């Protein structure tokens, strides 16, 4: 099942978005076993993303080393220690305090952290992230920190059947990404799109999608 899902998705996901950028598939691994994750990697998954720092700590050594490691969940600053030096991309930097803590820790280790800034594009109470209006000031504040490089932006669209609304939000997100990149440069990733909305997101200019259910099936929380 996992193998079939991965093959089908890799066929289905366009190699490039309408901006000509390569689309990267990240497997969202929360609640999945090491065995399931490694089957997905063996079937062609090149990037994995975890939401929980302790889960990452417990599983990381047993997950095939070939896959790039992303962190995609809410991160408490006291959990950075489980991720430092092992996370290729922190996608969910949702507040300045977190960026400062990552920067301080990486500076101490003599390392550079690669991050995306999470933007709360739907302006939802239930979600973290900088507001769209604050994106530039957040960018400048994080950019000024040592030992941190901003590789782009991440967003989660609201849960909605209103595709017009979702398209408008995804397009606005791409506009913010292009605006900052035109002014300051250096962006590589606009991470936007989950199992339910990835097609729309790629059409609107996402170049990184994070899929869980579409790869592994429904999640069962114990
Ligand atoms: C769980 C999760 C995903 C994947 O969600 P699915 O709907 O299962 O594809 C993507 N991004 C984040 C941040 C997640 O927590």
> Ligand 1: does its nearest atom lie under 6 Å from the Cβ of 213?
yes
> Ligand 1: does its nearest atom lie under 6 Å from the Cβ of 210?
yes
For residue 176, what pLDDT is reported? Answer: 98
C-alpha 195, offset from chain centre: 13
Reported as a single tens digit per residue, the pLDDT across 78-113 is 999 999 999 999 999 999 999 999 999 999 999 999
> Phi, psi at residue 30, to the nearest 5°?
-55, 135
- Give the closest residue (by CA) to ligand 1 atom 11: 210
pTM: 0.97
Number of the ligand 1 atom closest to the C-alpha atom of 198: 9
E strand or H helix at 117:
strand 113-119
Instruction: Tell me the β-bridge partners of 49.
Output: 28, 70
For residue 221, what pLDDT is reported? Answer: 74
For residue 202, what pLDDT is reported? Answer: 98
> Ligand 1: does its nearest atom lie under 6 Å from the Cβ of 72?
yes
Radius of gyration of the chain (CA): 17
Asked if the model's pLDDT at residue 120 lies above 70, the reply is: yes
Domains of the chain: 2-216 (3.20.20.10)
> Ligand 1: does its nearest atom lie under 6 Å from the Cβ of 51?
yes
Reported as a single tens digit per residue, the pLDDT across 26-66 is 999 999 999 999 999 999 999 999 999 999 999 999 999 99
* Alpha carbons 201 and 182: distance in angstroms, whole number: 21
**pLDDT class for 222, splitting at 50, 70, 90?**
low
């Amino acid at each position: 099942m996992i193998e079939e899902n991965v093959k089908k998705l890799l066929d289905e996901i366009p190699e490039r978005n309408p901006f000509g950028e390569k689309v990267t598939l990240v497997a969202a691994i929360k609640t999945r076993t090491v065995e399931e994750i490694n089957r997905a990697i063996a079937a062609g998954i090149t990037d994995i993303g975890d939401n929980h720092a302790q889960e990452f700590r417990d599983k990381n050594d047993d997950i095939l080393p070939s896959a790039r490691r992303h962190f995609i969940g809410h991160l408490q600053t006291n959990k950075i220690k489980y991720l430092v030096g092992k996370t290729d991309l922190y996608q969910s930097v949702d507040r300045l305090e977190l960026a400062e803590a990552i920067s301080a820790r990486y500076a101490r280790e003599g390392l550079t952290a690669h991050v995306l800034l999470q933007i709360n594009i739907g302006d939802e109470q239930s979600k973290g992230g900088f507001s769209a209006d604050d994106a530039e000031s957040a960018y400048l504040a994080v950019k000024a920190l040592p030992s941190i490089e901003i590789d782009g932006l991440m967003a989660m669209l609201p849960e909605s059947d209103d595709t017009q609304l979702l398209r408008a939000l995804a397009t606005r997100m791409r506009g913010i990404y292009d605006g900052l990149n035109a002014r300051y440069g250096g962006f590589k990733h606009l991470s936007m799109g989950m199992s339910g909305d990835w097609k729309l997101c790629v059409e609107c200019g996402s170049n990184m999608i994070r899929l869980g259910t579409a790869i592994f099936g429904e999640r069962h929380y114990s």
